[in-house]
Amino acid sequence: MNSYCHRLITVVIAACSLTIASAQIERNAAFRSQYQLEEVVVLSRHNIRSPMSGPESALGRITPHQWFAWTSAPSELSLRGGVLETEMGQFFRKWLVSEGLMQENELPAEGAFRFYANSMQRTIATAQYFSSGMLPVANVSIEHHYDVGTMDPTFTPKWTSDNDELQSEAIQQITDIFGDTTLEGIGERMRENYDLLQEVLDMDRSAACTQGDTCSFRTDNTEIVLQMDKEPGMKGDMKLACQAADALVLQYYEEPDEQKAAFGHQLSRSDWKKISAAKDYYGDVLFTAPLVAINVAHPLLQELLTELKTDGRTFAFLCGHDSNIGSVLAALGVNDYDLPDAIEAKTPIGCKFVIEKWLGSDGKEYAALNMVYQTVDQLRQMPLLSLDNPPAVYPLALEELTANADGLYLLSDLEQRFTERIEAYDQAPTVIRTAATEGSSRQAAIYDLQGRRLDNASQKSGIYIKDRQKVIMK
């Protein structure tokens, strides 16, 4: 093996099957006698930001209520977001010191630590606050490659194919998985969520309603848009519902008074999860269908695999967006999950997807995958994080790969999974079978990754969709 094989890399993508017993914290002496943590790589979602919610904005017009007085400019990291991210950095410092991977006041050698962010204010600031908590005396500079406010292609989940057939097949795949084979079905699955969202917003008393624009969220006008060199997009009310749900969830994190956060309504934690689902589902539809995920996650898959193989690296922190985490996990074939103690079920604000790279006493290298995130109460109440009061850690599982008794995968298997999905972007003959939802008699369709429909429905290998779940067959 190469020299990097004597390190452990933990990849944290911000964005979690939690035993809420934090995997990093609760590993016992027997585990530590068999494995040594060698390196950590982190892919994180930015922390709490401000939405676009001025009185004349779309969000300002769909409710008669005044939104929270945000502490930052639209789309920028809020004051709370900065505090929360500093706490997360401090927690990682305490954890990695306890594992012997770094010193309490580490001054890293050149190249040992990397902090790389998309060139948006909220991602650069998230990385800066995290680094301050983790390396308080190191005076860390955040690597970003473009002017602030410009999307870095590595973090831009854009559609990069000009193949019309592939585009059509990808849209059909989205409707098969999320819409019971129809675009109308995509919105209809959110009908109950939209009803709750409309009620909380009091849309029937909003300027948009009284001026004759809209009084509710329609479910029958969804349109998926895939255009070369642009992020997958959506037209119709589902997009506006996503924006409203996103702003409400952010308001819930920021506003101490729960009833005030809900514009005077009394909501349960389950209700908040339903509201969040309206935005979470939007991201799933646009970024997690296999054909789309393999395409839009390609630059980050390459970046992450490079980090796993970079000689001399101790820790890497990559900071992007929920769409980055969602598409990367989908491309890698992570099993479906629903995070506990979170209202954002998949990629909560500030979450981190962590790949831990361990050296075993048997001389083999292993990897563990975890989602690390602050619980709803931690986001709202901001208690200090520590080894005694850690964030939530949820173990993630990969389809068709088997972990050992300690919950670890062979590192070589994980790297091979990365390589397969990177190669699939251009030429891999992986087959994707999409099926309608449960109970449908519609015959499964089979596609290659160039979008060509294949005739043989009895393919034994590849990626296929069954009952809305991605399954990898070898």
Just list the catalytic residues: 46, 322
371 CB contacts (<8 Å, ≥6 apart)?
A: 15, 16, 18, 337, 339, 351, 352, 353, 354, 393, 394, 396
Structure tokens that stand for 195 in this block: 């009803």
Residue 24 DSSP symbol: H
**C-beta neighbour count of 203 within 10 angstroms:** 21
Give CA–CA dist 85/91, Å, rounded.
10
**Residue among 332, 304, 319, 343 at smallest CA distance from 396:** 332
Q: What is the sign, positive or negative, of the torsion defined by CA atoms of 245, 211, 235, 439?
A: positive
Residue type, 294: I
Give CA–CA dist 184/163, Å, rounded.
25
Give CA–CA dist 369/353, Å, rounded.
7
Give CA–CA dist 394/304, Å, rounded.
20
What long-range pairs does 260-263 form, CB within 8 A, spacing at least 24? 261/68, 262/200, 263/63, 263/65, 263/200, 263/201, 263/202
Crossing angle of helices 269-287 and 237-254, in 10° steps, is 130
How many CA atoms does the CB half-sphere of 159 hold within 13 Å?
Answer: 26
Answer whether 369's CB lies under 8 Å from 398's CB. yes
